[in-house]
């Protein structure tokens, strides 16, 4: 009888002690991609940091991991990495003319620092695509004309 007095409260309290979030093996979420893969640039950059750097005028849009906007593998970038927020795709003319390599950092005026990890179709010139999980966010972003500054 005494053992039941000890065990019964433990049985009642056990569900409370179990962690609320148990791994389920589901697809990664937006936040897990961000935390795992985003190469963070802690320093807030300003125009003064890039005073003597070359500015390349470009057009910027956002894209999503959808097969109609990418190739048949929408979650894998040209650099063979998994997509993440903070990645950018550059047109092939920019890549060839300025010698970009995957992993190079670029600064877009008014938009921030991004890591070159993806490549655009050959038909685009002087253009960059910022990766975004949200289609609505990409549509709201629209088309922005700005300057690209090479950080490498």
Mean pLDDT of 5-30: 47
pLDDT tens sequence across 76-124: 999 999 999 999 999 999 999 999 999 999 999 999 999 999 999 999 9
Contacts for 15 with CB less than 8 Å, ≥ 6 apart: none
Number of domains present in the structure of the chain: 1
Q: What percent of the chain has pLDDT over 90?
A: 53
Residue with tokens 């003597």: 52
Q: Encoding tokens for residue 139?
A: 């549509």
Residue 31 included in any domain = no
Residue 125 included in any domain = yes
Question: Is the distance from CB of 116 to CB of 105 less than 8 angstroms?
Answer: yes
Residue 115 included in any domain = yes
The rounded mean pLDDT for the chain is 78
Residue 7 included in any domain = no
Residue 37 included in any domain = no
Query: For the whole model, what pTM was predicted?
Result: 0.66
CATH of the domain at 124: 2.40.40.10
Which pLDDT score is estimated for 98? 93
Which residue segment(s) compose the domain that 79 sits in?
A: 52-150
Residue 57 included in any domain = yes
Question: Is the distance from CB of 41 to CB of 106 less than 8 angstroms?
Answer: no
Which pLDDT score is estimated for 68? 83
């Amino acid at each position: 009888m005494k053992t039941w007095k000890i065990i019964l409260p433990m049985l009642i309290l056990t569900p409370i002690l179990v962690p609320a979030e148990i791994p389920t093996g589901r697809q990664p979420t937006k936040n897990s991609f961000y935390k795992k893969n985003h190469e963070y640039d802690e320093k807030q950059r300003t125009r003064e940091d890039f005073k003597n750097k070359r500015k390349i005028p470009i057009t910027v849009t956002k894209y999503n991991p959808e097969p109609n906007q990418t190739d048949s593998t929408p979650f894998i970038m040209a650099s063979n990495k998994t997509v993440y927020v903070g990645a950018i795709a550059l047109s092939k003319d920019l890549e060839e003319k300025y010698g970009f390599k995957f992993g190079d950092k670029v600064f877009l005026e008014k938009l921030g620092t991004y890591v070159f990890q993806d490549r655009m179709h050959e038909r685009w010139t002087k253009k960059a695509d910022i990766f975004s999980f949200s289609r609505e966010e990409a549509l709201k972003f629209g088309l922005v004309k700005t300057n690209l500054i090479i950080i490498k």
